[in-house]
Amino acid sequence: MSSPPVVARTIPALRRALAELRRRNASVALVPTMGALHDGHLSLVRLAKRRADKVVVSVFVNPTQFAPHEDFGSYPRTFKADAAKLAAENVDLIWNPDVKAMYPEGFSSRIITEGPAVAGLEDRFRPHFFGGVATVVGKLFNQCRPDVAVFGSKDFQQLRVVTRMAVDLDMGVKVVGAPTMRERDGLAMSSRNVYLSDEERVLAPTLYRAMKEVARRIKAGKSIDASLAAGAELITGAGFVLDYLEARHAESLAPIKSRKDGPIRLLVAAKLGKTRLIDNIAV
Ligand code: AMP
């Protein structure tokens, strides 16, 4: 049995714990999370373990990526259960700062991202989001100086934004993407799935089914626009309010009109009752 993970809650405690981990030149992988951990997060931890000697998981619900009307206050916080799950995965260090440790009084800097961050997907509906994500991820990278950082493809635009930022700002971190973990009925695992009522939970996998149907039609030679229209109908027919269902170039996230214009990624965001879900698949 290895020892349980060290939990650091202040920057000096983090520094000490990292210095200990890095003895004998051990490489470090970071897995940033907002906690409420599910098997999707744990799959990132397992990938991180294959990529580095030591694994650090940050658990921090980042206020700057939520708009005032969003769910920062009610976001599930389950630290005890999270720590037990991370101990079972033999994680070395949990970085769990409070908001004051992360954003001390007088904090007044922000990382501005362009390119994939202004692709007209999440940024159209959550204009504050990538500024908050980029700033906190930039801070996490500076605090932990990881060799590798693992992010889920579940948040596909975020993965593209963070990958680009790490390169553009010479952060010296290799960003690695991990596949989306799903429930048996296809619903992408998400900390927000706990918001769904029983009836909504039954309808929620429609998002994934609709994307699969769009992919099937595109592969069968149907036009992208007509395929997306059919998918949108399935989604709204199940009672969702659709924010977007789009086909984009999988690397640049540029709009795409034809299959020959490059690898296609389908991306969707929709609200079911009060819960906003996002998902994406390759065609
Ligand atoms: P979050 O705690 O929601 O901020 O997510 C932390 C990390 O876990 C992000 O890199 C997400 O993309 C990733 N993640 C969330 N859900 C899943 C999932 N179902 N499968 C794989 N990775 C996920």
Residue 277: give its domain's CATH number: 3.30.1300.10
Residue 144 lies inside a defined structural domain of this protein? yes
CA-nearest residue for atom 5, ligand 1, is 33
* Residue 43 Cα: closest atom of ligand 1: 21
Residue 186 lies inside a defined structural domain of this protein? no
Q: Is 41 in the pocket of ligand 1 (CB under 6 A)?
A: yes
Using alpha carbons, list the distances in angstroms from residue 133 to 9, 152, 166, 208, 226.
20, 14, 13, 25, 34
Q: What is the pLDDT of residue 3?
A: 81
Distance 43 CA to ligand 1 centre (A): 9
Pairwise CA distance, residues 142 & 172, whole Å? 10
Closest by CA position to 278, among listed 158, 116, 118: 158
Task: Enter the tokens of residue 243.
Answer: 């924010």
Closest by CA position to 48, among listed 60, 31, 26: 31
Residues sharing a CB contact under 8 Å with residue 278, sequence separation 6 or more, in sequence order: 122, 154, 155, 267, 268, 269
Closest by CA position to 191, among listed 67, 48, 79: 79
Domain boundary among 117, 145, 178: 178
pTM higher than 0.85 for the full model? yes
Residue 183 lies inside a defined structural domain of this protein? no
Domain boundary among 119, 148, 178: 178
Residue 1 lies inside a defined structural domain of this protein? no
Do 132 and 216 belong to one domain? no
Active-site residue, selected from the candidate residues 41, 69, 128, 249: 41
> Are 54 and 90 in contact, with CB atoms under 8 Å apart?
no
Do 164 and 198 belong to one domain? no
Query: Probe ligand 1: pick from 30, 56, 155, 192, max atoms within 8 Å of CB?
Result: 155
Task: Enter the tokens of residue 43.
Answer: 């799959």
Do 44 and 86 belong to one domain? yes
Do 46 and 150 belong to one domain? yes
Q: What is the pLDDT of residue 1?
A: 54
Do 195 and 83 belong to one domain? no
Q: Is 155 in the pocket of ligand 1 (CB under 6 A)?
A: yes
Pairwise CA distance, residues 195 & 227, whole Å? 30
Q: Which residues of the chain have pLDDT under 70?
A: 1
Do 221 and 103 belong to one domain? no
Q: What is the pLDDT of residue 176?
A: 98
Q: Which domain holds residue 255?
A: 191-282
Pairwise CA distance, residues 209 & 116, whole Å? 26
Do 88 and 212 belong to one domain? no
Residue 184 lies inside a defined structural domain of this protein? no
Domains in the chain, number: 2
Do 33 and 123 belong to one domain? yes
Closest by CA position to 191, among listed 112, 109, 278: 278
CA-nearest residue for atom 22, ligand 1, is 152
Does 41 participate in catalysis according to the annotation?
A: yes
Q: Which amino acid is at 65?
A: Q
Pairwise CA distance, residues 6 & 16, whole Å? 11
Domain boundary among 124, 145, 178: 178
Do 124 and 168 belong to one domain? yes
E-only strand ranges, 40-122 = 54-59, 93-95
Residue 185 lies inside a defined structural domain of this protein? no
Using alpha carbons, list the distances in angstroms from residue 168 to 42, 113, 228.
28, 10, 33
Q: Is 191 in the pocket of ligand 1 (CB under 6 A)?
A: yes
42's enclosing H/E stretch is helix 39-51
Do 94 and 54 belong to one domain? yes
Residue 36: give its domain's CATH number: 3.40.50.620
Do 172 and 196 belong to one domain? no
Residue 141 lies inside a defined structural domain of this protein? yes
Do 66 and 89 belong to one domain? yes
